[in-house]
Amino acid sequence: MFPTHSLFFLLVLSLLCACGRGTKKETDKKVFKYNQPEALSSLDPAFARNQANIWATTQLFNGLIELDDELKPQPAIARAWQISPDGLKYTFYLRPNIYFHDHEVFPGGLGRKVLASDFEYSFKRLLDPATASTGSWVFKGKVLEDSKGIVSDTAFKALNDSVLLVYLNEPFIPFLEILSMPYCFVVPQEITQRYGKDFREHPVGTGPFEFKFWDEGNGIVLHKNEKYWKKDDHGNQLPYLDAVQISFLNDRKMEFLTFQQKGLDFLSGIRGSSKDLILNRDGTLQKEFANKFNLQKSPYLNTEYIGFQLDPKNLKGPNKAINDNRVRQALNYALNKKELVVYYRNNLGIPGHSGMVPPALPSYNEKLVPGYSYDPKKARNLLKVAGYGPGQPLRLTLNTVAEHKEIAEFMQKKWAEIGALVEINISQAAAHQESVDNGRSGFFMKSWFGDYPDAENFLALFYSKNFSPAGPNKTHFKNAQFDRLYEQAKLEQNPEKRYQLYQQMDKIVVEESPVIVLFYDEVLLLTQKNIHGLKADAMNNLRLERVKKL
């Protein structure tokens, strides 16, 4: 009897044979294989909320805008655009000959041309309560709304087949970056209406690969879109690959073993004990792997932090110490963040010696926004002034997940050295998330992955109108000066002036310490030697249209 994954592999071979044209032997097919250990719940871009869904939908769909390797907006289905001087009207001009993938629903089974009305429909579908998309927030509060705060029917308007208009309530500088997100990919109305909720497993887009098969829990097969609209700089048809195979091994050791045996073409990130097996302390590859694999590292739009819940109303046992800024600063000074990164991350990451905004963004400046370096003496003095010492130790409970247990224990030891006794509470990821979102966790470890490449997305965590669970402000931090600067920055169209406002806001975050910035993560890619063209970027995107497998 074949194991399930072996049966899936045989199915992949049969599907590839079925799509062949008789000009190649099956062994010549270029199949890119990657593993997705986290759950993949949907291939519908309206639900592209996590890395698993984002990576898969990126192969199947396109949007108006895409980001280049430096995360700058570039034309995609929109060949050009104009923004009105007041920043309220966006006009997009679509390319003339882009088609959806072939499907039996279309006349003659051939993919039809993408129209401006398809984007109007896709954007309205994202906001429709019946869709229940996790991405409706990308437009809410930004595009034109009526007096009741409901998105206006005229917020998106197809002027004709090739011109789309989008109207905003007020200027929002990163709006083009927002439109590059998978949530904003275009979908065909007749197919989403045919499948309804089941569009998640019957996706039809315009991307470099077409959906072929999904055996939930085992794998997904995508085939090359022979009619893809993009070509390389030499006029060669993209993509270069014949197919993509996604597996779902959730055991990290098994994943790495499969990669070693060339059953996978790349790995993203290294967790747990694998880091010591693969990386030296300085972050370089161990000698035995250096000649076998390629390693790429780049700054990541991800800040790892510890948060304080500053609104005690939802806490079962509120700890008044959390609301004392001197205590929060002391806990910051007590941590040797460089030691944390070197010894517990094998130098993967950048110590958090600035504010919340990570180095991958242009407004980051450690000199202008200095954070907390390791200073246990200052930490003890701050605790003493706050009323804590040998006779009255500070007691806290840090809530986290099993994945971060080792780092939590390191911090526990460092805090104990300044007289702070911290208990560690380990929860399942879903329970931890729910507790933090609903304000029931007073002291917690979290990450913030940038949704789009602008510092506003990180500073939104401290805007008082963004309190969780509806918004991203999980600490319920409130500061009038910060709010004024945030609202001013949203309207500032001059990049340098906007960066200065971001830096002022980040300095307030450092001073008030609603969070302890631990480190800024880095993207790490391991690839087989025969993989070319796969590039690490600050959003850890997976773009396979220009990847070659030699």
The confidence score (pLDDT) of residue 470 equals 84
pLDDT at residue 3, as a whole number? 47
Whether 274 maps to a domain, the answer reads no
Q: Which residues in the chain land under pLDDT 50?
A: 1-4, 21-24
Instruction: Looking at the structure, tell me whether residues 306 and 436 fall in a common domain.
Output: yes
Domain end point (choices 202, 227, 244): 202
Task: Report the alpha-carbon distance of residue 43 to residue 57 in Å, rounded.
Answer: 6
In a domain, 57, yes or no: yes
Determine the angle formed by the axes of helices 337-345 and 405-416, rounding to 10 degrees.
150
pLDDT of residue 70: 85
User: What kind and span of H or E run contains 347?
Assistant: none
pTM: 0.88
Contacts 24+ apart (CB under 8 A), 96-99: 96/162, 97/229, 98/62, 98/206, 98/229, 99/206, 99/227, 99/229
**532 found inside a domain:** no
Residue 317 has what pLDDT?
Answer: 75
Same domain, residue pair 184 and 320: no
pLDDT of residue 276: 74
pLDDT at residue number 13: 53
Q: What CATH number is associated with residue 123?
A: 3.90.76.10
Residue-level pLDDT at 2: 40
Is residue 80 in some structural domain? yes
- Can you give the pLDDT at residue 99? 98
Residue type, 399: N
What are the φ/ψ torsions at residue 358 (nearest 5 degrees)?
A: -80, 165
In a domain, 541, yes or no: no
* Cβ burial 126-141 (10 Å sphere, 16+ → b, else e): bbeeebebbbbbbbeb
Report pLDDT for 252. 82
> E strands along 402-513, which residues?
420-427, 443-449
Q: Tell me which residue range forms the domain holding 125.
A: 41-202
Instruction: State whether 341 and 490 are in the same domain.
Output: yes
pLDDT of residue 5: 54
Does any domain span residue 315? yes
In a domain, 268, yes or no: no
Residue at 211 is within a domain: no
CA distances 157 to 163, 332, 388, Å, are 9, 50, 61
- In this prediction, residue 546 carries a pLDDT of 97
